[in-house]
Amino acid sequence: MSKIAALRPSVPMEWQINGLTLAGLSWGEPSGRPLLALHGWLDNAASFSQLAPLLTDFHVVALDLTGHGQSAHRSTDASYQIWDDLPEILGIVKALGWDTFDLVGHSRGAIIATLLASVYPERVRHLVLLDAVTPQPIEESAFPVQMRKALEDKPRLLIRANKVFACLEEAVASRTRNGLSETAAKLLVERNLRACSGGMTWTTDPRLHGASAVKLTGAQIRAVLEALDMPTLLMLASETADQASEYVAFAQRSIDDLVVQTIKGEHHFHMESGVTEVEQYMKRFLLETKKTESAL
């Protein structure tokens, strides 16, 4: 553990929002500048446990999004569309007493952050996106096929059990096989396991593996991006930046105030060796960049 991390340990947090118990972690004093952090698919608030201690000017609050980590699962009649998280996020922001705040998201959390910032641009001071911007658009003609996928996935996933691991090390190994370092994988896994018969299993809701019933079209995504009037920083993993060139070009055409930066590493670069570089770019961006006059 670094000296900064030792001085800024995480503090567990919990909220009751819309009948759900939601959990998270925070770093720094509540008097610090508010920064909300949203993790990626199948991750949890520990996704920011390497980065948040370095952001010493900020009160960082990272959520376990619903169905992830230590947060509750949705009821059996509910879904996990990307916009389903927005009411709970807004409830937590209200509980924190934040009128305005900076917003950072990784992967699926970046997509959710983009949606939230587009709907409430007056509340988001700066938007930081880690290796994602929006979902892949879908053609309007594909709507029936997409809906059918979701309808067929739901009953199957309602009865699906998560994999059981004999020990923590086995669970960690299941994440390192997907490219995470052992240190990063252990941080995520330890917050995402519960004891069960035969060992331990994920706390994650299996329904998160299901198809979305509705996906945004290209025109809808363009409208989302064009509504972003705050300074926006997009950081991309160097290992996959070439694959992202098409949607990055689309984002650059659609977002007026966008900075794009490539960070050495893979998809979880904010938890790996690139974390210091991420912190340096983020601090400079958040503390020195302001909205342009036309956006005020």
Distance of CA 194 to the CA centre of its chain: 22
Cα angle for residues 150, 156, 162 (degrees, 5° grid): 115
Burial class (CB in 10 A: 0-12, 13-18, 19+), 146: middle
φ, ψ (nearest 5 deg) of residue 6: -65, -35
CB contact set of 225 (below 8 Å; sequence gap of 6+): 114, 118, 133, 134, 250, 251, 254, 255
CB contact set of 172 (below 8 Å; sequence gap of 6+): 182, 185, 186, 189
The rounded radius of gyration (Å) of the Cα atoms in the chain is 19
CB contact set of 76 (below 8 Å; sequence gap of 6+): 158
CA distance 255 to 220: 14
* Residue with tokens 């952001």, as numbered in its chain: 55
**Which DSSP string corresponds to 50-99?**
TTGGG-TTEEEEEE--TTSTTSPPPPTT----GGGGHHHHHHHHHHHT-S
3-state DSSP percent of the chain in helix, strand and coil, to 5:
40, 20, 40
- The helix/strand count (H/E) of the chain reads as 9, 11
Question: Catalytic site residues?
Answer: 107
* Residue with tokens 């446990």, as numbered in its chain: 49
User: Is the distance from CB of 204 to CB of 60 less than 8 angstroms?
Assistant: no
